[in-house]
Amino acid sequence: MPSTPPPETNTAMTVAARALKAQTARMRIIAENIANAQSTARTPEEDPYRRQIPTFKTEMMREMGNAKTVELDRVVESEKPFTMKYQPGHPSANAEGYVKYPNVSVLIESMDMREAQRAYEANLNVIDTARAMDQRALSLLQR
The predicted-structure confidence for 70-124, as pLDDT tens digits, reads as follows 999 999 999 999 999 999 999 999 999 999 999 999 999 999 999 999 999 999 9
Global pTM reads: 0.83
- 143 found inside a domain: no
Q: How would residue 1 be classed by pLDDT, with cut points 50, 70 and 90?
A: very low
- 130 found inside a domain: yes
Please tell me the total count of domains within the chain: 1
- 84 found inside a domain: yes
- 95 found inside a domain: yes
- 68 found inside a domain: yes
| Beta-bridge partner residues of 83 | 101
- 2 found inside a domain: no
pLDDT at 9 over 60: no
- The answer to whether residues 73 and 81 touch, using CB atoms and an 8 Å cutoff, is no
Work out the angle between the directed axes of helices 7-35 and 106-141 (0-180°, nearest 10): 160
Range of the domain at 110: 7-137
Number of residues that this document lists for the chain: 143
73-79: long-range contacts, CB 8 A cutoff, minimum separation 24? 75/29, 76/52, 77/50, 77/51, 77/52, 77/53, 78/50, 78/51, 78/52, 78/53, 78/103
- 112 found inside a domain: yes
Residue 4: predicted pLDDT = 52
Give CA separation, 15 vs 9, 47, 72, 111, 124, in Å: 10, 39, 13, 24, 11
Q: For residue 69, which of 26, 21, 15, 25 has the smallest C-alpha distance?
A: 15
- 142 found inside a domain: no
